[in-house]
Structure 1
Amino acid sequence: MTDLVTYRLDEGVATLTLCNGKVNALSPAVIEALNAALDRAEQDRAIVVLTGQPGILSGGYDLKVMTSSPENAMALVASGSRLSRRMLAHPFPIVAACGGHAVAKGAFLLLSSDYRIGVEGPFSIGLNEVQIGMTMHHAGIELARDRLTKPAFQRSVINGEMFAPQAALQAGFLDQVVAPEQLEATAAAVVQQLKKLNMTAHRNTKLKARKALLETLDQAIDLDLKHFG
């Protein structure tokens, strides 16, 4: 793909690795590269593993872009929301292998994946938008509302609380927490289970189960753009 998102295909598994500096900032180019990687994974009919480097999945949107102008900020947020919507409807399973921190849009990548593995350690996972002066966008609110527990939704979206890995597991950001050295093996084991699925049934069931969420996200993205305009 590009040097921002590497693509490795091995026995029906496409590993997408974020490679954009020490916090894997999500810039317009990274979002574009992720979409291209998902295009390729779909063509390869591959289960997707999305990961970063040890210590971090992503710290969220590129702050240089977010602070450059309101127009650039809204365009980036909208493209990120469309990426989340796409991930939720992807025809093959997406496994997030989070090697540490996942902040703001980094945490939304977890909420957009079908199975999420985190690691033990002094890591923070969550939505810090209101901590840094950003009013949460409609699409983000709706995605968090669907995937987090009700108490965690309030604490996360409204209070900007960040969670340690085990607390993130309870909140709904993660499905499993393992030792860092077990992350790759655990992701491989999850993939082996997912390979047993009938992928047509998986896709059709995913779209049926998430129909209301996907429609809500479409409306929320339009509302975010309209509100900005």
Structure 2
Amino acid sequence: MNTSTPLLVAIQGDILILTLNRPSVLNAIDAEMAVALQEQLTSASQNPAIRAILITGSGLGFCSGGDLKFAVETNPKYPGDAFLALTAILHDCVEQIRTMSKPVIAAINGAAAGAGLFLALACDLRIMVDSAYLKQSNTSHGLSLPVGGTFTLPRLIGMGRALEIVMLDEAIFAAQSLELGLVTKVVPHQQLQAEALALAARVSQMPIEALGRVKRLMNEAYHNTLTEQLLAERQQIAMSANSPEGREGLAAFLQKRQPNYAAVKVSRSALYHSIRV
């Protein structure tokens, strides 16, 4: 494995596989890794050939969080300046994940802590090995939560549980992670790659543009009034029914066959902007 490249990139069929690759520090995120991740997400979001994205880690961990040593060494007197710069990139990554039409899956192959945990929580689906654990970590280091943690954590498990995780900062092992709803599935370590790719392949056959519309509606639901949300739902179901995917889905229903969404040509602008209309 090439240890000099902070992000490994591979394509399997219509699935883009991004592997965080700083195994000697459990894939802690520095500026170089963050920029590489940002660039790949931007490219994939606009590439019609990519229908799903899988993010995982190399070595023993998924991601141990932001590289604290990097932050302190960058500016020993004001390490917060380094965090300000790093989170500008990582927060763009989170926004891309939450707004792009493509399904994004985290394959948690080992410990996910701090920014690594919050990166995983930003993904649409999460599959975790049974030997891994999750830990928010930041508050134990005197730091607040970045990378969308304060947005995703309470939405996934509720405010009470989220505050418990923040204040106690205990490791959350696989069985509890599944019970809380922090992950979608738990598998043995030797099955992770196959299970994650199977999950990515499954969602890649779904109507990608329609999934993006639903992601948008769910994101907006937390600040819309009921009237606003119902109006948005009306608009989006009408637009999706008029789209190539919608026409294929409806035709397949009437013809009593399985829809072939992967064969539907969707424009780059629809893939990237369908959730922003």
Give the Å deviation of 1:208. 1.4
The structure having more radius of gyration, on CA atoms, is 2
8 Å CA contact retained: 1:110, 1:173? no
**2:95 is the counterpart of 1:90:** no
Give the Å deviation of 1:139. 4.3
Q: Find 1:175's aligned residue among 174, 184, 189.
A: 184
Q: Find 1:32's aligned residue among 31, 35, 59.
A: 35
Aligned residue identity for 2:61: I
With the length of structure 1 as denominator, give the TM-score of the two structures. 0.85
Map of 1:130 onto structure 2: 139
Q: Find 2:19's aligned residue among 7, 17, 20.
A: 17
8 Å CA contact retained: 1:107, 1:127? yes
Rounded to whole Å, the distance in 1 between the matches of 2:152 and 2:172 is: 17
Query: How many pairs were matched up?
Result: 213
Q: Secondary structure at the match of 1:210?
A: helix
Map of 1:117 onto structure 2: 127
Give the Å deviation of 1:44. 3.0
Rounded to whole Å, the distance in 1 between the matches of 2:86 and 2:43 is: 22
Rounded to whole Å, the distance in 1 between the matches of 2:222 and 2:22 is: 30
Rounded to whole Å, the distance in 1 between the matches of 2:60 and 2:158 is: 25
Give the Å deviation of 1:49. 0.6
Give the Å deviation of 1:54. 4.2
8 Å CA contact retained: 1:91, 1:203? yes
Rounded to whole Å, the distance in 1 between the matches of 2:43 and 2:146 is: 29
**2:80 is the counterpart of 1:50:** no
Aligned-pair identity (%): 23
8 Å CA contact retained: 2:139, 2:145? yes
Rounded to whole Å, the distance in 2 between the matches of 1:18 and 1:65 is: 16
Map of 1:7 onto structure 2: 9
Q: Secondary structure at the match of 1:26?
A: coil
8 Å CA contact retained: 1:56, 1:101? yes
8 Å CA contact retained: 2:62, 2:109? yes
Give the Å deviation of 1:172. 3.0
Q: Which runs of 4+ in 1 moved over 4 A?
A: 212-215
Rounded to whole Å, the distance in 1 between the matches of 2:141 and 2:188 is: 30
Rounded to whole Å, the distance in 2 between the matches of 1:15 and 1:210 is: 25
8 Å CA contact retained: 2:90, 2:147? no
**2:164 is the counterpart of 1:155:** yes
8 Å CA contact retained: 1:85, 1:214? no
Q: Find 2:199's aligned residue among 170, 190, 210.
A: 190
Q: Secondary structure at the match of 2:23?
A: coil
Alignment of 1:53-68 (within 5 A): 53-67=58-72, 68=75
Rounded to whole Å, the distance in 1 between the matches of 2:12 and 2:207 is: 19
With the length of structure 2 as denominator, give the TM-score of the two structures. 0.71
Q: Over aligned residues, Cα RMSD in angstroms? A: 2.2
Rounded to whole Å, the distance in 1 between the matches of 2:147 and 2:28 is: 21
Rounded to whole Å, the distance in 2 between the matches of 1:167 and 1:86 is: 28
Give the Å deviation of 1:37. 1.0
8 Å CA contact retained: 2:111, 2:133? yes
